[in-house]
Amino acid sequence: MELSQETKNLISKFNLWQDSLKLQEGVSTIHVDEVASKVAAFYEQIRTIIDWKEEHLMRRAAIIRKLKRRFLDLEINNVSIENMAEPLVLECIRGGYFPNDKIEESKITDVQKILSKYIVILKNSPENISGKAGLNFYNRLLEIAACEIEETLAPSIKEMALIDYMFLQMQERIKVNENVYTRGVLKKEEKDIQIYIAVQQALFKLDVPIISYNLIKYKHPEWDNPSDQELSHISQNMYKMLNGIEYNIAHPLGKKFYAICEKYDTPYLLLGDILSKGNIEKIATEIQEPALLEEYTRNVYLKRLADLKTKIARAAIYSTASIFITKILSLVVLEIILAKIFSGYLNTLLLFADVAIPTLLMSFLVITIKPPSKKNLSLVVMETIKIVYKKEKKDTYEIKIARKRSLMTRLILSLIYLIGAGISFGFIIWVFVYFAFPVTSIIINLIFIALILFTGMAVRTRSQELTIEEEKGGFFGFISDILVLPIAGAGRWLSNTWKQYNAITAFFNALIDMPFSSFIEFLERWRYFIKEKKEELR
């Protein structure tokens, strides 16, 4: 069968990606000392637990952290901006976020240009002022700068090729009901942007900073290499640009676009896996035979399913450890202090319960995850065939909105939600009271349970990333949603609030990060000094 033009274009981009992995001969690459790198990588592993995010976001989280520290140093000590890039890049390589001896030295110059661009924007933007709004603008801009630096040091050619491929396919397949436009819920020119956002969220679970960066490039093609005049215009309008993008990402209909893209993203992921297996030209020829495409799809599906199980287990362990260190540790310390004040003694059994209850809850949430059914694999194969080959008639997925609920309906639904919350929290409190837990311990355990339940549900949602078949609902599922969602909602609010007041993270950032970075730089210089002295003795 004939491959579609979109599939042929994707294959060409994957060829470019494979070529980009080959090191050019005679090109100097960046090298860091192996001993210093091992020490730095060990520290970064500790930070990984404290600042736990999904694996594909950890590298950029580290760049953001290091970038903010260096910009703070720029503000306080008035250091030169001309040499910011090299120590930043070296620090990232030492931490194990980029490979040693693989990145060309010319990339340091590219990163320096990026830093200079953002410094110009910060200096010339009218909104870069003191206060909460100014700080928020500053943080958002540095997060986008980190995305651009990561893209420069490790270009996401393969990932962006798949995003563009799915975006083009979904543009044709997703249809918006005319009623949506008539009611003013969505403008026609916003449809493509919503699809572009949803594709990024569904395919690679990209977060707000990287989606913002990709949207800036989508809306402003001149972004990567602006002229002085364009940079001046960008600086004056950056705040407005970011607010516009924030509105796009938070659009009320965004969840509906995401639901469609999330349901049908599996074939695109598997096609990417197939093309990554080896000789692309050979694979491109073979997948023109439906039987061979089906065989390839089944093989990569089973491999991805096995990898997914490992990822889920690792995510459960790391996220639970992160909650313990950054949230539970501080609360347990608080509980110890309160116990000493009010009762004069510490009940070790209660402390054990504080640790055991969240751990057992997370274990239960992970153990009870059901793998996709055998029917799902057949659906995945069928959907993969649909997107790969040229086809006259394509499937369509409609975006429509429900009729506006009456005030009475909204009140009844809100009341049911509140009753569910009351029953859930009431039952948990009753259990703790029955076992004679003190009030402080009950409050702290409620917080633990809400945080773990929110995180566990996020892990369970991630486990469905290969599932296309419709989820079967039942009476038990309906009741559990009513009882569980209010607790998970409270956990989400607590988690988001905690990010702003995380004492453990603040401690590491302020008192450990900067001195440790200086120590690692000194260690590397000392190693090179000793090496030079040894060479002199020869």
Same domain, 284 and 338: no
Residue 334: pLDDT band by 50, 70, 90 thresholds? low
Helices within 220-289 (DSSP H only): 228-249, 254-263, 266-275, 280-286
Per-residue pLDDT at 254: 93
- Residue 131 three-state SS: coil
Contact call for residues 218 and 438 (beta carbons, < 8 A): no
Same domain, 264 and 319: no
**pLDDT per residue over 30-75, tens digit each?**
888 777 677 666 666 666 655 556 667 788 888 888 888 888 777 7
The Cα–Cα gap between 174 and 164 comes to 15
Q: At what angle do helices 348-367 and 439-462 cross, to 10 degrees?
A: 20
Q: Output the furthest CA–CA distance in the chain (Å, rounded).
A: 89
Closest to 261 measured CA to CA, from 182, 189, 206, 188: 206
- Residue 398 three-state SS: strand
Residue 302: inside a domain = no
**pLDDT per residue over 152-180, tens digit each?**
999 999 999 999 999 999 999 999 998 88
- Residue 114 three-state SS: helix
Per-residue pLDDT at 500: 55
Residue 388: inside a domain = no
Average pLDDT over residues 135-146: 90
**pLDDT per residue over 208-250, tens digit each?**
999 999 999 999 999 989 999 999 999 999 999 999 999 999 9
Residue 463: inside a domain = yes
Average pLDDT over residues 274-279: 88
**pLDDT per residue over 401-438, tens digit each?**
877 777 788 788 888 888 888 998 999 899 888 888 87
Same domain, 222 and 346: no
On the CB side of 23, CA atoms within 13 Å amount to 13
Residue 332: pLDDT band by 50, 70, 90 thresholds? low
| Candidate from 196-210, 276-290, 318-332, 342-356 with smallest mean pLDDT | 318-332
Average pLDDT over residues 360-378: 82
Residue 326: inside a domain = yes
The Cα–Cα gap between 443 and 490 comes to 13
Per-residue pLDDT at 148: 96
Q: What is the pTM of this model?
A: 0.82
The Cα–Cα gap between 97 and 41 comes to 9
Instruction: Find all residues with CB under 8 Å of 279, minimum gap 6, and list them.
Output: none
The Cα–Cα gap between 462 and 305 comes to 12
Tell whether the torsion through CA atoms of 149, 150, 153 and 157 is positive or negative.
Answer: negative
Domain range for residue 216?
1-22+30-288
Per-residue pLDDT at 105: 92
- Give CA separation, 500 vs 10, 146, 495, 504, 506, in Å: 41, 20, 9, 11, 10
Instruction: Find all residues with CB under 8 Å of 365, minimum gap 6, and list them.
Output: 316, 452, 453, 456, 457, 459, 460
Per-residue pLDDT at 200: 96
| Candidate from 28-37, 189-198, 273-282 with smallest mean pLDDT | 28-37
Residue 293: inside a domain = no
Helix then strand count (H, E) for the chain reads 23, 2
Same domain, 329 and 244: no
The Cα–Cα gap between 152 and 104 comes to 11
Q: What is the average pLDDT value for the chain, to the nearest integer?
A: 82
Per-residue pLDDT at 536: 57
The Cα–Cα gap between 446 and 443 comes to 5
Q: Which domain-ending residue is among 231, 255, 288?
A: 288
CA angle, residues 295, 298, 301, in degrees to nearest 5: 145
pLDDT exceeds 50 at position 344: yes
Report residue 450: phi and psi, to 5°. Answer: -65, -45
Residue 386: inside a domain = no
Average pLDDT over residues 345-356: 70
Q: Which two tokens stand for residue 296?
A: 């390839």
Per-residue pLDDT at 76: 65
- Give CA separation, 471 vs 263, 365, 372, 478, in Å: 11, 17, 10, 12
Same domain, 199 and 51: yes
DSSP 82: T
- Give CA separation, 301 vs 159, 187, 263, 271, 484, in Å: 18, 38, 15, 10, 31
Contact call for residues 432 and 207 (beta carbons, < 8 A): no
Average pLDDT over residues 466-476: 73
The Cα–Cα gap between 398 and 170 comes to 11
DSSP 495: H
Between 74 and 13, where is the model more confident? 13
Per-residue pLDDT at 269: 94
**pLDDT per residue over 85-115, tens digit each?**
888 898 888 888 888 888 999 999 999 999 9
What's the number of domains the chain is made of? Answer: 2
Same domain, 349 and 230: no
pLDDT exceeds 70 at position 288: yes
Per-residue pLDDT at 336: 66
Same domain, 173 and 212: yes
The Cα–Cα gap between 365 and 357 comes to 12
The Cα–Cα gap between 445 and 358 comes to 8
The Cα–Cα gap between 111 and 323 comes to 34
Same domain, 403 and 321: yes
Per-residue pLDDT at 504: 44
369-377, long-range: CB < 8 A, 24+ apart? 369/312, 369/459, 369/460, 369/463, 371/305, 371/309, 372/305, 372/464, 372/466, 372/467, 372/469, 373/469, 375/469, 376/466, 376/467, 376/468, 376/469, 377/298, 377/301
Between 20 and 296, where is the model more confident? 296
Residue 470: pLDDT band by 50, 70, 90 thresholds? confident
pLDDT exceeds 90 at position 145: yes
Residue 363: pLDDT band by 50, 70, 90 thresholds? confident
Beta strands in 106-207 (DSSP E): 174-176
Between 41 and 300, where is the model more confident? 300
Contact call for residues 498 and 322 (beta carbons, < 8 A): no
Same domain, 284 and 346: no
Closest to 372 measured CA to CA, from 381, 363, 364: 381
Same domain, 473 and 340: yes
Same domain, 74 and 183: yes
Residue 209: inside a domain = yes
Residue 321: inside a domain = yes
Q: Which domain-ending residue is among 254, 272, 288?
A: 288
Instruction: Find all residues with CB under 8 Å of 151, minimum gap 6, and list them.
Output: 213
Per-residue pLDDT at 507: 45
Same domain, 322 and 248: no
| Candidate from 149-153, 380-384, 507-511 with smallest mean pLDDT | 507-511
